[in-house]
Chains A and B, each alone.
Chain A
Amino acid sequence: MRNFRRIATGVALGALLAGGAAAQEISAPNLSYRTGPFAATGIPVMNGQIDYFTMLNERDGGIGGVKINFYECETGYNTEKGVECYEKTKGDAVVTQPWSTGITLQVLPKSNVDEIPILAPGYGFSAMADGSVFKWAFNLPSSYWDAASMILKGIGGEDMSELSGKKIAFLHLDHPFGKEPLPYLEKKAEDIGFELVPIPVGLKEMQNQSAQWLQIRRERPDYVIMWGWGAMNIGALTEAVKTRYPMDQFVGVWWSGHSDDLQVVGADGAGYRSISFNAPVSDAQVMADIQTHVADKGLTESDEEQRSEVFYQRGLVMSAALAEAIAAAQEEFGTGEINAEQLRWGLENIDLTEERIAELGMTGMVAPFSTSCSNHTGHSGGWLLEWDGEQFVKASDHLMADADELAEMEVAAAKEYADANAPWPTQECDG
C-alpha cells in the first residue's frame, strides 16, 4: 500500500512537472503541404515560416520568454487531410494555418465553435477581411481581391482607365483558389469597360495547357492575368513561351511568382511579372539573423539559394506577422502563455509600422499595415516583381488596392456568407 502511494505521488508529481514544462510554450501548428502536386510552392514558404520561429527561439528564447512550438501537420494540399490535421492539432493550438482556400472554407465554421483563430496570410476567402462577421479568421496582409486590384492598377494605371476597351484573359486554376478574384474582376470589367475572358485550368490539365493557350492565341488578349498554384505555373509559362505571348503582358498572383517555376523557362520568361505583398531583400538584418541562429546551426531545411528567393522570405514575413500578434497579446494580457482567445485579440491589433519593420530587420520586405476588429486583412499593398531571366526584382512602386471599393464588396460578401450559414456569430466593431 505504501509502495502504491509512493508510485501514485510520483506519477502525480511527474504529471505536474510535465504539465508545467508543456505550459512554457505556445503551440502554433501549421497545416503544411510539403508533398503532393503543390509541394514545390509549399516547401520554400513553409521553410521560411518555421525558420523564423526557430530564429526567435534560438536568438531571443521565444517571444516574451516563451518558446514557440511551431510544428507542422502534412496535408498534401488535400482538403480532407487538412480537416483531419485541424482536428488533430486543435487541442492545444492558439492558432491554425490551414493553407489552401478549400481547407480554409472547411475550417471556417469550426473555428467559431472551437474558438481558434484561423490565420490565412495572403490566401483564403477575401471577405474574411470583415472582422465583424469573421471574428476568428484573418487573411493579412493582403487578400486575393487586393491582389487583383493591385494587378489592374499595375497594368492600367492608378485609376485603371488604360484598361478601357482592352481584352484581359484570366487564366486560373479551376478550384476555389482560382475562382476567388472573379467577382472583383467581373465588377471591374463592367465598371471600366474591358472584356474579361475567364479561362479555367483543371487540376489534371495543369501540365498540359495547350488548349488554354490555343484559346489565348485565338482571343489575342492584351493581358493575361494568371491565378496559378504549384505545377500550373510551369505549365502556363512554358506554353506562353511556346505560343510567343509577350511576357510583359503576362502577370500572375503572388503564388505564381516562384523562382523555381521561372527557372524552367529561364531567359525566355524575362519580363513576366507577379504581384507580391513581400519583396526579397537578402541583405536585410533578419536574413543575417536567420543565417547565424538557424542556418549555421544546421536547424533549417532550406539552402542558401532558397533563402534568397521571394517565397522563402514570404514565409518569414508571415511568421513575423504572427509573432507580432503573439507579442501584442502578451503585452495586453500580461502573460507569456497566451491562449487562443488572447491571440485573436493580438491578431486584431497588429501595428506594423515602418519603424517596427526596421526593428524587426525587415526593411523593404513588407509594407506597413495594421489590423483592427473590422479589418482582419490589413491591406498592406505590394509590388509588381519582374523576372529578369535569373531572379525576381522589384518592378513597380508600392501599389495599394482600391480599399473603399473592396470594403463594400467585402461587407456584402461577408453578409451573404453569414446569411447562408445562419446562425453565424458576429461581433460589434468600433473600428
Chain B
Amino acid sequence: MLKDIFVTPFVDMATAPDFLMQVLWEGLVSGILYALIALGFVLIFRSSRIFNFAQGIMVVFAALTLVGLHAMGVPAWICVILTLGVMFVLAVTVERVVLRPLVGQPDIILFMATIGITLFLIGFGEIIFGGENKVMITEELGIPTDSVVFEPFGGLLILEQKDITAVVVAALLVVALLAFLNKTRMGRAIRALGDDHQAALSVGISLQQIWVLVWFIAGIIALVTGIAWGARAGVSFALEVIAYKALPVLMLGGLESITGAIIGGLLIGMLEKLFEIYWGQPLLGGNTETWFAFVLALIVLLFRPQGLFGERIIERV
C-alpha cells in the first residue's frame, strides 16, 4: 500500500513522461478556466462585498446569447459585440433594479439577491433560448479546431488548438485586467472601493458607476469563459455547474485577491488532475476531482484562514 502511494505514481510519471506532460497540460487548461470564473467572483466581491452567486449563470447566458444571435444570421464577430452590449445592459439593470435599492443592507441580503438574479436568468434564458444543447460557433470566430501533435520522448502529446487559444486569450485577459486595475483611474477606483468603502465614497468615487463597471467586466469574463467551455462541451445550462469549481479556488486563493484567483485556479487545475490520474484512479476508484479541490482548500485554510493570498483581517478590540 505504501508503495502504491509513495513509489508507483512517481515511477509511472518517470516511465511515461509524455503522458505526464499531457496530464499537466490538461490540468493547466482546466486551471486557467477555473481561474477565469474565480476572477469574476473576486472582482465583484472586491468592489461590493457581494459573493456573486450568479457568475455561473452569467457564463451560460453570455454563451447562449452569442450562439443565439448567430443562429439568427448575425455574423460571428458582430454577435460578440452585441453580446457584450447585452452583458452591459445586464450590468446596468442589476445595478439599478437589484443592487441600488439594497445599498446598506447586510451582505447576506445582497448574496440572496444574486441567487434571485440566477433564478431569473435561468428562467429568462430558457424562455428565450430553450434548454436544448447548442454548438459553440468556434470556427466562425476564427478559433482553430485542429490538434497539434508532439512526440516527446518517443511518446504522444496532443494539444488542441482551441485549448491553446483559450489559454492564450485567458492569459491576455488577465494581463489586460491587471493593467486596467493598476494603471487606470477607474481601475484604481475599483481597488479603492475594495479597500475601504466609506473612504472611497468620501473622495467622490461613484458606487453606482463602479458597480456597473465590475458587473460588466464580470460579464466580459463570463463571455470568454463561455466561449472556451462551450467550444469544449457545447453550450447548455449545464455549463452553470462549472462555476462551482471556482469555489475551492476562491477558498484557496482568497476572495479578494486577483493573484490568488489566478494562482489558485492553476494550482487546483493541475494538482487535481495529477492526483486523480496517479492516485485517485488506481487507489480510490476515480472521480476524486469532485472533492479533491475542496480538501486541498480546507487544508490550506487550516494554516491560512484568509487563503493563500487573502488579506489578513486584524480587528482591534
Contact = CB atoms under 8 A, between A and B. Distances in A.
A414 interface: no
Nearest to A268: B145
Interface string A31-45: 000111111101110
A243 B290 CA distance: 22
Given A202-B290, A231-B236, A238-B233, A211 B132 contact: no
B131 A34 contact: yes
Residue from A37, A44, A217 having most chain B Cβ neighbours under 10 A: A37
Interface in B123-160: 126, 130-133, 135, 147, 158, 160
B287 A174 contact: yes
Interface in B1-45: 19, 22-23, 26, 29-30
A358 B215 CA distance: 59
Contacts of B49: none
Contact of A207 (B238, B285, B290): B238
Interface in A199-223: 199-208, 210-212, 214-215, 217-218
Nearest to B159: A242
Q: Which of B130, B147, B229, B234 has the most CB of A within 10 A?
A: B234
B287 A205 contact: yes
B256 interface: no
A371 B52 CA distance: 52
A263 interface: yes
Nearest to A37: B238
Given A215-B286, A242-B147, A231 B233 contact: yes
Contacts of A199: 281, 286
A175 B242 CA distance: 18
A264 B122 contact: no
B237 to A, nearest CB: 6
Contacts of A202: 287, 289-290
Chain B, interface SS category:
helix
Contacts of B285: 198, 200
Contacts, number: 129
A263 B135 contact: yes
A234 interface: yes
Which of A44, A214, A230 has the largest count of B CB atoms less than 10 A from its CB? A214
B144 to A, nearest CB: 14
A238 to B, nearest CB: 6
Given A204-B244, A205-B289, A211-B273, A43 B281 contact: no
A384 to B, nearest CB: 23
Contacts of B23: 214
Contact of A243 (B132, B158, B241): B158
A235 interface: yes
A39 B237 contact: yes
A40 B236 contact: yes
B286 A212 contact: yes
A261 interface: yes
Interface string A234-247: 11001000111000
Interface string B248-269: 0000000000000000000000
Contacts of B234: 207, 231, 234, 238, 261, 264
A36 B244 CA distance: 15
A260 interface: yes
Given A205-B290, A211-B277, A231-B238, A40 B133 contact: yes
A260 B281 contact: no
Nearest to A202: B290
B232 interface: yes
A44 B30 CA distance: 31
Given A39-B131, A235-B233, A206 B238 contact: yes
Residue of A36, A206, A207, A218 with most chain B CB atoms under a 10 A cut-off: A207
25 contacts: A36-B237, A36-B238, A39-B237, A43-B132, A44-B132, A174-B287, A199-B281, A199-B286, A201-B287, A205-B287, A206-B241, A207-B239, A207-B242, A211-B289, A212-B286, A214-B23, A217-B19, A217-B22, A218-B277, A231-B234, A231-B241, A234-B233, A234-B234, A234-B236, A260-B133
Given A40-B236, A218-B19, 12 more contacts: A43-B132, A174-B290, A198-B286, A199-B286, A200-B286, A204-B245, A205-B287, A207-B238, A210-B26, A238-B233, A242-B160, A244-B158
Interface of A: 34-40, 42-44, 174, 198-208, 210-212, 214-215, 217-218, 230-231, 234-235, 238, 242-244, 260-261, 263-264
Interface of B: 19, 22-23, 26, 29-30, 122, 126, 130-133, 135, 147, 158, 160, 229, 232-234, 236-242, 244-245, 273, 276-277, 280-281, 285-287, 289-290
Nearest 4 pairs of A and B residues by beta carbon: A39-B131, A231-B238, A37-B238, A207-B233
